[in-house]
Structure 1
């Protein structure tokens, strides 16, 4: 993964890679009658020696992760790199 460009005035930098994602992005999509939610985005550091197969095996993930598996995922064993809000979980 590498940074593309120098970032903007808000220090936002797009990250690019040619490696397939471990878990596909799922955009927010709340079922009715849900009201407004606050979303927290957290970026964890991934060791370079891990690949998708090893990560799936180590975390007990299925090849395709559904919504409930994502909700119940536990990130406490990973180093947090950045978050858009304080993260105490």
Structure 2
């Protein structure tokens, strides 16, 4: 049951538990489950992911900047620019 204890809190905990129960009695099964329990489950650590609100703000800023560029280049009229600007939520 060592792999199950080491897997506590991982996203695949239940799968590791059942594989440990079903295959843990064989040496190859136990070692495989142990290796999976010790492996990194690719969860981002605290503070490493960009918060959704920040991503939304960044994407809106980029969209406004692009619209301004299109207006400055004469591709969009002022009215079209304002229409698109009002459509940003």
Larger Rg: 2
Structure having the higher helix fraction is 2
Structure having the higher strand fraction is 1
Which of the five TM-score ranges fits, normalised by the shorter chain? under 0.3
The TM-score normalised by the length of structure 2 is: 0.21
Bigger relative contact order, structure 1 or 2, given CA contacts below 8 A and separation 6+?
A: 1
